[in-house]
């Protein structure tokens, strides 16, 4: 077991490129690396130099001199065409002398695991962080307005899911990027318990002190409403895919990825909910 050590020095002296560096996991990883005094390059369309997954010519400036990359593909590795993008990135990374790749992947997604194989077969040092649903989807993502309105309206049924804290994902990625003991590991990360969306609503009600209910609309009606809201096509696609395919019980078990990587248990949803409430998120 590799234990997380705040005093551990990085194996690398060159900058670490964090793709999706302004997103849920990425901005936490950037902050954590900077707190260690490590040089960080943010990979996003708004960064300088900019990184745009849809413009391969933009990648070289971001990759120049980089020794390790955190790869978070937006919106999801299950999206058609993701494997082409990951292969192209790996090829360019090798040309630039990148040594290590840490890929954020999704549990139970065969399409995402195709991208994992590309990274694993790259010839570079690699670590896979395979995550379940994020706690922070309720406070920073697609569902935040539902919590504010007091109704979680999603076609999720009663399928339990081991939701995980993004802070834990970031901590795992940071050690994988900066320490030698995580190369060749697939860390499947979950929270400490299985929860249904009914359980989520109850925990959020408890934390916020107001009633938050879970309502299950028909799947087709939910997808149609998302599409009619003007959401991008790939977001509509991934929500349809997640609720129709991935949330079928295939991930309804806990794993020890956080414990193995960090030497501590994952943070519980109740603690997250209290912290988010105290911060005034809802």
The total number of structural domains that make up the chain? 1
Residue 56 is classified by DSSP as: G
Which domain, by its residues, includes 258? 16-196+247-278
Q: Is residue 6 part of a domain?
A: no
Q: Is residue 225 part of a domain?
A: no
Q: Is residue 222 part of a domain?
A: no
Instruction: Please state, in angstroms and rounded to a whole number, the distance separating the CA atoms of residues 82 and 8.
Output: 34
| Its pTM surpasses 0.85 | yes
Residue 253 is classified by DSSP as: S
Q: Is residue 29 part of a domain?
A: yes
Sequence-distant (6+) residues with CB within 8 A of 143 are 137, 152, 154
CATH number of the domain that residue 173 is part of: 3.40.50.720
Q: Is residue 99 part of a domain?
A: yes
Using the structure block, give the residue that is written with the tokens 């955190």.
70
Q: Is residue 93 part of a domain?
A: yes
Burial class (CB in 10 A: 0-12, 13-18, 19+), 269: buried
Residue by residue, pLDDT tens for the chain (282 residues) are 333 344 445 677 779 999 999 999 999 999 999 999 999 999 999 999 999 999 999 999 999 999 999 999 988 999 999 999 999 999 999 999 999 999 999 999 999 999 999 999 999 999 999 999 999 999 998 899 999 999 999 999 999 999 999 999 999 999 999 999 999 999 999 999 999 999 999 999 999 999 999 999 999 999 999 999 998 998 899 999 999 999 999 999 999 999 999 999 999 999 999 999 999 999
Instruction: Please state, in angstroms and rounded to a whole number, the distance separating the CA atoms of residues 260 and 184.
Output: 13
């Amino acid at each position: 077991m590799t234990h997380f050590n705040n005093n551990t020095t990085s194996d690398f002296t060159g900058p670490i490129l964090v793709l999706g560096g302004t997103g849920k996991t990425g901005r936490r990883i950037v902050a954590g690396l900077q707190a260690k005094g490590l040089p960080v390059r943010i990979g996003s369309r708004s960064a300088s130099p900019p990184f745009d997954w849809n413009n391969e010519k933009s990648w070289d400036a971001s990759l120049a001199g980089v020794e390790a990359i955190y790869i978070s593909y937006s919106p999801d590795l299950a999206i058609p065409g993701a494997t082409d993008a990951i292969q192209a990135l790996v090829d360019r990374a090798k040309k630039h002398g990148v040594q290590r790749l840490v890929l954020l992947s999704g549990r139970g997604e065969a399409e995402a695991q195709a991208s994992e194989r590309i990274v694993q077969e790259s010839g570079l040092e690699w670590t896979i962080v395979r995550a379940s649903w994020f706690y922070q989807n309720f406070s920073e993502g697609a569902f935040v307005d539902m919590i504010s309105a007091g109704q979680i309206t999603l076609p999720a049924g009663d399928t339990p899911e081991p939701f995980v804290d993004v802070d834990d994902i970031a901590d795992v990625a940071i050690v994988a990027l900066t320490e030698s003991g995580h190369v060749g590991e697939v860390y499947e990360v979950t929270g400490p318990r299985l929860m249904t969306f009914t359980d989520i609503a109850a925990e959020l009600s408890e934390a916020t002190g107001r009633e938050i209910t879970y309502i299950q609309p028909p799947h087709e009606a939910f997808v149609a409403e998302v599409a009619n809201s003007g959401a991008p096509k790939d977001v509509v696609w991934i929500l349809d895919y997640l609720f129709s395919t991935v949330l079928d019980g295939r991930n309804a078990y806990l794993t020890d990825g956080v414990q193995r990587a960090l030497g501590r248990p994952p943070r519980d949803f109740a603690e997250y909910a209290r912290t988010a409430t105290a911060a005034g998120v809802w």
